[in-house]
Amino acid sequence: MTDSAEYRAANDAVRSHFFKRVWQLTTPYWRSEEKGMAWLLLIVVIVLSLVGVGLNVWLNSWYRDFYNALQNKDLKSFIHLMLMFCGIAAVFILTAVYRLYLTQMLTIRWRRWLTERHFAAWLGDKNYYRLEQRGHTDNPDQRLSEDLNSFTDTTLTLGLGLIRNLVSLVSFSVILWGVSGSIELFGITIAGYMFWAALLYAAVGSWLTHLIARRLIGLNNRQQRYEADLRFGLVRVRENAESIALYNGEANENERLMTRFRNVWGNFWELMKVQKRLTFFSSGYAQVATVFPFIVAAPRYFSGQIQLGELMQINSAFGNVQDGLSWFIDAYASLANWRATCDRLLSFRSAMAETTHESANIDVRKTGGDLQLQHLSLCLSDGRELLEPSSLTVKTGEHLLIGGPSGGGKSTLLRAMSGLWRFGSGVVQMPDARCLFVPQKPYLPIGTLAQALSYPEQAGQYSAEHLAEVLRLCRLETLIPRLDDADHWQRVLSPGEQQRLAVARALLYAPSWLFLDEATSALDEADEAALYQVLLEQLPGVTLVSIGHRASLKRFHPRQLRLEERRLRETEAVLPA
């Protein structure tokens, strides 16, 4: 097999695989619990589209009679035809309005269904976290919002447009074949020659369009990614405004944003060049198509074989046939956008599927009453070892403090216990009880303070009195009047206040096991000790597993370990006073 043949075979395989995956993305909705309404809306929209085609066919005959009436100066027929036109126009308007309305209804219902499934897949099994850790995809927010919207809208628009064009093509091809007559060329009589002229004209145009604009798919894909990168950079500046301002980092951020914008700029220029060439061709193609049927039909008209009405009917039928055959030309830019959208969605879904089905080397189980590590080893994604195979048992009520140098793997150890970290080997047996992990930088959702405090539970889970009480215990009395205020609390509260709020959240959640990853590092030792005292008093049955560097924490944890040099070592306990 030659290189070119191998290349064509490889491209055919890619296209076949692409359409198979798009089919798998498209069809589930039409077999889902909403299939009844979905198919009903689709059928009604198709019927309305066919009614529109039928009206165009009717108008084709109307044009013949109308122009004949004008040529013959037949006033009675003229008035009758104008009244007929008013009725056709009214039906056409109603059909167009409800076809658009019902298409939009079907689009938003399909988008809602797809969004629900993709949200569930993205948030399920911690996929959102693992995708970020592994760097599988860029800008998942774009894929879950813009791409799903574009996919449903463009798929229905292109699909319905193709059906409408096919029906119109068949209908007007029959008309054009009947009215175009025959012509003798080089001694050969060609029947229905206007139809063959339209077919040849559209085929040459489609071929040239593909040659001119085939780069649009890749360019549109990159443009969407660059635009999303720029938006993400702008959001990062907003999220970290105070830190950037304190560093006087405006010049640095400006250069970073401009670097991303230069990608947008450069790729857009390439898009402009391709679209300019495509517009030159498509505009010229459309202009020539306006007069082409008159030129081809002129010999029969001037020889007296047909009247003005037949000439105008031929022109209308030729235009509709040529439009149907030129659907690929008119829809090429939309097809390129659709292909780019599908590529992004399919790559995102593939990444989620790989993350979901990838084997976890660390076996995390939830059973029994104690925490046990059995021959647990940890490493980074590049294979660098953080912890040699180690075993450990923490009994219920046995408060444990894990120390060690920064970057030694302490937080990674907690991630392995929670089931987030998969790089390593061994078994983690988590207690079959209510557990809560509190990170160093707590997450505070945008919304009311009550919602941020109640997270991960809903705000209505706790009474206002209970919320106010835990705020008092954590020395956040000033926030009690703001429980119903909505704000971006990670910007409003200081790091220390955020950590106090996270401890208050733990008091509400009331876990049996509480894992704290330097969760009080932004507080001074006195405040830290006060919060630990509150935890032990308010949650008498809790077991604490803490990561921290301060010696003052030791008195709250009768058992202490250090993770250093890739080993877990017991250290001398400091008993509480």
CATH of the domain at 453: 3.40.50.300
Q: How many CA atoms lie within 13 A of 530 on its CB side?
A: 13
Please compute the mean of the pLDDT values over residues 273-278 and round it to a whole number: 85
Q: Which residue has the higher pLDDT, 274 or 288?
A: 274
Same domain (yes/no): 281, 369: no
Please compute the mean of the pLDDT values over residues 268-279 and round it to a whole number: 86
Task: Give the end of a domain, one of 339, 357, 375.
Answer: 357
State the pLDDT confidence band at 474, using cuts at 50, 70 and 90. very high
Task: Mention every residue, 6+ apart, whose C-beta is less than 8 A from residue 369.
Answer: 395, 396, 431, 432, 433
For the chain, the residue count is 577
Q: How far apart are CA 526 and CA 475, in angstroms?
A: 12
CATH of the domain at 342: 1.20.1560.10
Q: Which residue has the higher pLDDT, 518 or 290?
A: 518
- Identify whether the C-beta of residue 49 lies closer than 8 Å to the C-beta of residue 85: no
State the pLDDT confidence band at 358, using cuts at 50, 70 and 90. low
Please compute the mean of the pLDDT values over residues 476-482 and round it to a whole number: 94
pTM of structure? 0.70
Q: Is the model's pLDDT at 537 over the cut of 80?
A: yes
Task: Give the end of a domain, one of 322, 357, 392.
Answer: 357
Q: Which domain holds residue 63?
A: 21-357
Which of 173-177, 257-261, 520-524 has the weakest average pLDDT?
A: 173-177
Same domain (yes/no): 551, 415: yes
State residue 242's pLDDT score: 65
Sign for the pseudo-dihedral over CA of 11, 15, 21, 22: positive
Residue range 175-215, pLDDT digits in tens: 777 666 666 666 666 676 677 777 777 777 778 877 777 78
Q: How far apart are CA 55 and CA 88, in angstroms?
A: 7
- Identify whether the C-beta of residue 393 lies closer than 8 Å to the C-beta of residue 371: yes
Q: How far apart are CA 244 and CA 255, in angstroms?
A: 13
Same domain (yes/no): 402, 352: no
State residue 3's pLDDT score: 44
Q: Is the model's pLDDT at 137 over the cut of 70?
A: no
Tell me the sheet residues that pair with 183.
190
Q: Which residue has the higher pLDDT, 261 or 318?
A: 261
Same domain (yes/no): 382, 240: no
**In a 10 Å sphere around its CB, with 0-12 CB exposed, 13-18 middle and 19+ buried, how is residue 527 labelled?**
middle
Please compute the mean of the pLDDT values over residues 149-172 and round it to a whole number: 84
The answer to the question of residue 214 being in a domain is yes
State residue 170's pLDDT score: 77
State residue 502's pLDDT score: 94
Q: Is the model's pLDDT at 13 over the cut of 70?
A: no
Residue range 286-325, pLDDT digits in tens: 777 777 777 777 777 787 777 777 777 777 777 777 677 6
The answer to the question of residue 264 being in a domain is yes
The answer to the question of residue 518 being in a domain is yes
Please compute the mean of the pLDDT values over residues 490-502 and round it to a whole number: 92
| Token pair for 472 | 């008092």
Which of 112-116, 146-150, 433-437 has the weakest average pLDDT?
A: 146-150
Residue 255 CB neighbour total at 10 angstroms: 10
Q: Which residue has the higher pLDDT, 556 or 184?
A: 556
Same domain (yes/no): 561, 441: yes
The answer to the question of residue 298 being in a domain is yes
Residue with tokens 């230069």: 262
Task: Give the end of a domain, one of 357, 391, 416.
Answer: 357
Task: Mention every residue, 6+ apart, whose C-beta is less than 8 A from residue 484.
Answer: 448, 449, 450
The answer to the question of residue 484 being in a domain is yes
Residue with tokens 């509400």: 508
| Token pair for 293 | 């049927």
Task: Mention every residue, 6+ apart, whose C-beta is less than 8 A from residue 27.
Answer: none
| Token pair for 416 | 């392995």
Which of 9-23, 108-122, 157-171, 398-412 has the weakest average pLDDT?
A: 9-23
Q: Is the model's pLDDT at 279 over the cut of 60?
A: yes
Q: How far apart are CA 372 and CA 369, in angstroms?
A: 10
Q: Is the model's pLDDT at 25 over the cut of 80?
A: yes
Same domain (yes/no): 425, 405: yes
Tally the domains of the chain.
Answer: 2
State the pLDDT confidence band at 544, using cuts at 50, 70 and 90. very high
State residue 211's pLDDT score: 79
Same domain (yes/no): 371, 351: no
State residue 7's pLDDT score: 35
Q: Is beta strand 182-185 parallel, antiparallel or unpaired with respect to 567-571?
A: unpaired
| Token pair for 505 | 């959240």
State residue 62's pLDDT score: 83
Same domain (yes/no): 274, 177: yes
The answer to the question of residue 294 being in a domain is yes
| Token pair for 140 | 């998942």
Same domain (yes/no): 84, 38: yes
The answer to the question of residue 6 being in a domain is no
Q: How far apart are CA 270 and CA 265, in angstroms?
A: 9
The answer to the question of residue 146 being in a domain is yes
Which of 355-359, 450-454, 468-472 has the weakest average pLDDT?
A: 355-359
pLDDT over 70, % of the chain: 90
Please compute the mean of the pLDDT values over residues 525-550 and round it to a whole number: 92
State the pLDDT confidence band at 2, using cuts at 50, 70 and 90. very low
Residue with tokens 């635009």: 227
Task: Mention every residue, 6+ apart, whose C-beta is less than 8 A from residue 442.
Answer: 498, 499, 501, 502, 505, 519
Which of 99-108, 404-413, 463-472 has the weakest average pLDDT?
A: 404-413
